[in-house]
């Protein structure tokens, strides 16, 4: 096959996206898929095409982990570096892979064939260790599988020709409740919502008012559905727990601006919190319900535009989701005049993230959708009034939207009768770590941790801790296992990582500190610098140079992050250290050589360059202090 001219490739991508600068992420991703990496020349071409400065395009490309502004291997292997992957041996397997490939982690092989590095949790914690090869997920790695992969890379076998079983991702649904066991047919929820409104504006559409216009007045259907959502007491499933009905109502009541005024519904599928993978399973098994929830939301707020922001790690779901969207269009559940309701126009488009945890924060997500760096906005104004392209926008978690569809079908009272007083409905937990049956567990709210542990085959007596809701959540110790999942007690986005008595809780916290330092967007000083200082502090302790002084430093930085950070990432970045220091302090202290102070500066290490230059390595060329540490 003759080589295509890069300029033609980029041109084709640009025209697919109508040279639209707001589609920059998708343009960069598709260009990189063809060209392997994004040179400044490539970026300049894209900048000209989208009519924006090169530096801005470069700023966007360099923000996301999955875009490469330097040459990468033709095979790009990224090992998921969550603590659960590590507990399953990912570090050893990655070392094996690198040795077999004669490669240093983080480097590209000299022939440009392959690079191996780590990435933040890829959402395969129940079937780790996992990796991404050219952004295709491969779970359940073993030494044998690593050897097979190395061979396929060495022989330059195209990934499309790799055995399909490598890429098989399991759902591992272990417990179903109202959501995962629902028996709704496609369109049931929508039809129920529409029937709830006896007449839909045939008259007003005859007057050439749009359905959206009339919706802002007092059309009964959308309002009645909104009432059901409010009555259901549905709260956001992404972790923060904001009341969904209140969000929808504020968006519905907000007037858009400009000639392009249009409300917007966004599904937040940027499931980046380490240990969370329930949205992956929901989108695999309940995509229709999620899309139906988005359509219900559009019906309530009067939106025409729907977008799913899907994390880049889940790119393999694309064909599956597109197929379902196509089917829904053909069944009049999406598109023009949905279910023959004049003017009910709504469609959904899938956008991919590119490796940035911060884009799970709703305003950063919107920035990313607009083709920018994923930096959280200053608020107010909030997205419900000024969201995507300045228009009223709701951003809801995947699970929230699925629950909304259930409510539209079955009513708010039904939903509210499940769960607890303040936490209506069910919660899907992503269980991983030290248990026999990791996977997806759906419970009515109010279930206690001990019950989940026994269901998943973890032995409570041998379990020392559970990390609830990921690194940004809370780490609970064995004397807290009676605590309950729910907004009253343990609010969670779903992650449930189990640690047995053998695990080193310091290493758990250290892994999380690296995660936050890697994922800080860098906008505000406290988080940008503080997360790196925390990581350095933890590495210092790990290297045997820690003391109580460093613990005080961690608390001091924690206090600053909590008070001065721009967004939730900074506010919570210290939680893992804070919790483990409160509950598992000996895990830190047994690494201390001195209780008061130990310098981070390593005198002997500082001499290593001099040793190298003089070719010496005798005892006299070493200083004493680290000889002790190294032993």
Partner 1 sequence: MSTNTSPTFLIDGEEISFQPGQTIIQAALAAEKYIPHLCFHPEFKPHGSCKLCTVKINGRPAAACTTQAQAGLNVESDIPEIKDKRRTLVQMLLVEGNHFCPSCEKSGNCMLQALGYDLGVMSPHFAQIFPVRPVDASHPDILLDFNRCILCELCVRASSEVDKKYVFALAGRGINKHLIVNAESGRLADTNFSPTDKAAQVCPVGVILPKRVGFAVPIGKRKYDLKPISDISSRPALPSGGEGSTGQLASGGSLESAK
- Per CB under 8 A, residues contacting partner 1 are 40-41, 44, 53-56, 58-59, 62-65, 356, 373, 378, 517-526, 528-533, 536, 556-557, 559-560, 563-566, 600-601
Q: What is the residue-wise DSSP string for 25-64?
A: HHHHHHHHHHHSS--HHHHHHHHHHTTS-HHHHHHHHTTS
Task: Report the residue number, 294 or 521, with the smaller CB distance to partner 1.
Answer: 521
Q: How far apart are CA 173 and CA 169, in angstroms?
A: 12
Of 72 and 317, which has the nearer Cβ to partner 1? 72
Q: Specify the residue for token string 């259901």.
A: 232
Whether the ω angle into residue 608 lies within 30 degrees of 0, i.e. cis, is: no
Q: Are strands 463-468 and 474-477 parallel, antiparallel or unpaired?
A: antiparallel
- As measured in angstroms, the least distance from the Cβ of 520 to partner 1 is 4
d(CA 553, CA 597): 11
d(CA 554, CA 546): 11
Q: In whole angstroms, how close is the CB of 28 to partner 1 at the nearest point?
A: 13
Is the CB of 475 or the CB of 534 nearer to partner 1? Answer: 534
Minimum CB separation of residue 21 from partner 1 in Å reads 13
Mutual angle of helices 40-49 and 54-61, in 10-degree steps: 120
The distance of Cα 181 from the centroid of its chain, to the nearest Å, equals: 25
Alpha-carbon gap, residue 474 to 378, rounded angstroms: 26
CB 284 to partner 1: min, Å: 29
User: Exposed/middle/buried for 259, CB within 10 Å: 0-12, 13-18, 19+?
Assistant: exposed
CA 399, 405, 410 angle in degrees (round to 5)?
Answer: 125
Closest distance of CB 541 from partner 1, Å: 13
Buried b vs exposed e over 17-53: b needs ≥16 C-beta within 10 Å? beeebbbbbbbbbbbbeeebbbeeebbebbbebbeee
Q: How far is the CB of 599 from partner 1 (least distance, A)?
A: 9
> Rounded to an integer, what distance in angstroms lies between the CA atom of residue 60 and that of residue 26?
12
If the CB atoms of residues 389 and 521 are measured against partner 1, the closer one turns out to be 521
CB of 377 to partner 1, least distance (A): 9
Nearest to 249 by CA among 187, 301, 326, 179: 301
CB nearer to partner 1: pick between 38 and 180: 38
C-beta of 69 vs 478, nearer to partner 1: 69
Which of 600, 627 has the CB closer to partner 1? 600
CB of 258 to partner 1, least distance (A): 19
Angle at alpha carbon of residue 481, lines to 479 and 485, rounded to 5°:
140
Q: Which two tokens stand for residue 131?
A: 């990796």
Task: State the minimum distance, in angstroms, from the CB of residue 30 to partner 1.
Answer: 21
Cβ proximity to partner 1, 127 vs 472, nearer residue: 472
We find the least distance from the C-beta atom of residue 232 to partner 1, in angstroms, to be: 31
Rank residues 185 and 525 by Cβ distance to partner 1 and give the closer one.
Answer: 525
Query: Among residues 346 and 512, whose Cβ is nearest to partner 1?
Result: 512
Indicate the helix (H) or strand (E) that contains 347: strand 347-352
Rounded Cα–Cα distance for residues 428 and 450 (Å): 16
Nearer to partner 1, 280 or 514 (CB): 514
Q: How far apart are CA 226 and CA 47, in angstroms?
A: 43
| CB of 295 closer than 8 Å to CB of 334 | yes
For partner 1, the closer of residues 225 and 520 by Cβ is 520
Shortest distance in whole angstroms from residue 392 CB to partner 1: 21
- How far, in whole angstroms, is CA 309 from its chain's centroid? 10
Beta bridge partners of residue 498, listed in sequence order: 433, 466
């Amino acid at each position: 096959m003759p080589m295509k001219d890069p300029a033609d490739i980029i041109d084709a991508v640009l025209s697919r996206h109508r040279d639209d600068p707001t589609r920059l992420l998708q343009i960069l991703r598709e260009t990189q898929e063809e060209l392997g990496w994004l040179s400044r020349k490539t970026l300049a071409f894209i900048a000209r095409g989208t009519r924006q400065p090169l530096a801005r395009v470069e700023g966007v490309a360099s923000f996301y982990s999955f875009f490469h502004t330097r040459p990468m291997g033709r095979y790009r292997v990224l090992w998921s570096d969550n603590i659960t992957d590590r507990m399953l041996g990912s570090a050893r397997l990655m070392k094996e892979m690198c040795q077999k490939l004669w490669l240093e982690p983080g480097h590209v092989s000299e022939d440009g064939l392959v690079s191996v590095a780590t990435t933040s949790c890829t959402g395969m914690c129940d079937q780790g260790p996992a990796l991404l090869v050219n952004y295709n997920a491969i779970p359940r790695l073993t030494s044998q599988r690593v050897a097979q992969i190395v061979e396929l890379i060495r022989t330059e076998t195209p990934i499309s020709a790799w055995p399909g079983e490598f890429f098989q991702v399991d759902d591992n649904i272990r417990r179903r409740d109202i959501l995962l066991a629902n028996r709704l047919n496609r369109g049931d929820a929508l039809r129920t919502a529409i029937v709830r409104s006896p007449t839909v504006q045939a008259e007003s559409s005859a007057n050439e008012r749009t359905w959206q216009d009339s919706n802002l007045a007092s059309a009964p259907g959308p309002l009645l559905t909104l009432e059901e959502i409010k009555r259901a007491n549905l709260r956001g499933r992404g972790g923060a727990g904001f009341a969904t009905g209140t969000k929808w109502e504020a968006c519905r009541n907000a007037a858009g601006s400009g000639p392009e005024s249009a409300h917007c519904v966004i599904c937040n599928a940027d499931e980046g919190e380490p240990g969370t993978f329930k949205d992956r399973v929901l989108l695999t098994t309940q995509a229709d319900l999620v899309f139906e929830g988005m359509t219900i939301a559009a019906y309530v707020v009067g939106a025409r535009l729907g977008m799913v922001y899907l994390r880049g790690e889940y790119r393999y779901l694309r064909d599956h989701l597109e197929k379902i969207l196509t089917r829904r269009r053909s069944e009049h559940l999406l598109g023009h005049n949905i279910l023959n309701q004049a003017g009910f126009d709504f469609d959904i488009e899938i956008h991919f993230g590119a490796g940035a945890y911060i884009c799970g924060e709703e305003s950063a997500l919107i920035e990313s959708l607009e083709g920018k760096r994923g930096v959280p906005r200053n608020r107010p104004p909030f997205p419900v009034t000024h969201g995507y392209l300045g228009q009223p926008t709701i951003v809801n978690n995947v699970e929230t939207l699925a629950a909304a569809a259930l409510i539209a079908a079955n009513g708010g009272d039904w939903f509210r009768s499940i769960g607890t007083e303040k936490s209506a409905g069910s919660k899907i937990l992503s269980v991983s770590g030290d248990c026999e049956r990791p996977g997806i567990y759906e419970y009515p709210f109010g279930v206690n941790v001990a019950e989940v542990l026994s269901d998943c085959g973890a032995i409570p007596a041998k379990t020392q801790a559970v990390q609830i809701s990921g690194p940004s959540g809370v780490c609970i110790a064995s004397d807290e296992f009676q605590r309950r999942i729910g907004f009253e007690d343990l609010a969670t986005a779903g992650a449930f990582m189990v640690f047995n008595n053998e695990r080193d809780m310091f290493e758990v916290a250290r892994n999380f500190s690296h995660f936050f330092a890697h994922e800080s967007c860098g906008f505000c000083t406290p988080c940008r610098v503080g997360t790196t200082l925390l990581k350095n502090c933890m590495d210092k302790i790990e290297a045997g140079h820690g003391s109580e002084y460093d613990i005080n430093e961690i608390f001091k930085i924690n206090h600053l992050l909590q008070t001065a950070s721009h967004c939730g990432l900074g506010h919570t970045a210290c939680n893992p250290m804070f919790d483990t220091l409160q509950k598992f302090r000996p895990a830190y202290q047994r690494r201390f050589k001195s209780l008061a102070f130990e310098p981070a500066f390593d005198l002997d290490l500082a001499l290593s360059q001099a040793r190298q230059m003089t070719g010496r390595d005798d005892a006299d060329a070493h200083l004493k202090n680290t000889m002790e540490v190294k032993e």
